[in-house]
Structure formats: structure tokens, C-alpha cells
Amino acid sequence: VLLIEDSRHFQNLVTLLVRQQFPEVALHVADDGIAGLLLAGQLQPDVLLVDILLPGIDGAALITSLRAHPAFGACGLIVITSLHGEGLAPYRHALLGVPVVHKPMVVSELPALLAAALAALASPAGRAP
């Protein structure tokens, strides 16, 4: 699993949560969009957790470019953002069909979504809808 998130605070929170609830998962962290793209290419992660407001390349642009690449067809995606409503509107095009977790709700919402993304990898049907 690769987390692309510039906030150390949320890196810490997601790391605590993953260590606690998904001890079998290897979590990698990238601090910005460009490092995230590089690391995604290098690691070929099963699941990407992506923030939207990132320095360098924003999360929506990053998702769009990764999706265009066949190597990432099977990669699970979850967006973690503090944007909502109008703030999120400019990025909607990239977020179709992608589950979105709002930052304050990471603890209650992320584990179930991550579990579903990991389960979808194991099932023959491939990605969750």
C-alpha cells in the first residue's frame, strides 16, 4: 500500500491505523505528488491512498495519469482529503468511482474501505466497483 500525503500529521495517523488494523500490510509513504508517482512506478502498489491537495502534482492529476497507464489497471484507489463540497468540485472528473474519505473521519472510514480494496485484490473479479 502506498500513501501519497504531504501532511506528516496524517501520515502519522494513517500509519498508526494501518499498523494497528492491517499488520500484514507494508505501508510506504510519499510526501508529494512527484515522489508519489515515482514511488508508484517503482513499487507497483496494490492499493494507493492519495491526498488531493499535494505540492507538485495534485492528487487528481496523479490519479488521472496513473489510470492511463496499463500497469495500474488493477491498483485499488482511495482518496483521503479534507476537501468537500465545492472544494472537491474541480477534481470530480478524476474521482468518478473512487471512494473518498474525509480527513477527520479517517479512523472510522478508512479501515473498511482499505479492507474492501485488499479483498478485491484477492477475488478473481478484480477491483471493487
Partner 1 sequence: VNGVQTPPAARPRVLLVEDDAALRKLVALVLEVLDIELVSCANGADGLAELRAAPVHVLITDLMMPGLSGYDLLQALADAPALRGTARVLVCSAGLDARARARLALLGAWRMLDKPVSVQVLEDCVREALRLSALDASAPEPASGVGEHDEAGAEQAVISQYFAGQTALFAAYRADCLLQFAHDLQTGDRALAARDAPAVQRLAHNLKSVLRMLGREAAAAQAKALENAAARADWGEMAPGWDGLRRQLTRWALPAPPPVPG
Residue numbers at the binding site for partner 1 (CB under 8 A): 6-10, 12-13, 16-17, 20, 53, 55, 82, 103-105, 107-108
Cβ distance to partner 1 smaller for residue 22 or 72: 22
Whole-number minimum distance, CB 9 to partner 1, in Å? 4
Cβ distance to partner 1 smaller for residue 49 or 75: 49
Cβ distance to partner 1 smaller for residue 97 or 104: 104
Whole-number minimum distance, CB 14 to partner 1, in Å? 10
Give bridge partners of residue 78 from the DSSP assignment: 49
Whole-number minimum distance, CB 65 to partner 1, in Å? 22
- At residue 30, the 3 state secondary structure works out as strand
Distance CA 121, CA 29 (A): 20
Whole-number minimum distance, CB 24 to partner 1, in Å? 19
**CA distance readout (Å), 65 to 45, 53, 62, 76, 112:** 15, 16, 5, 15, 26
- Of 65, 68, 127, 122, nearest in space to 97 by CA: 127
Cell triple for 97: 468511482
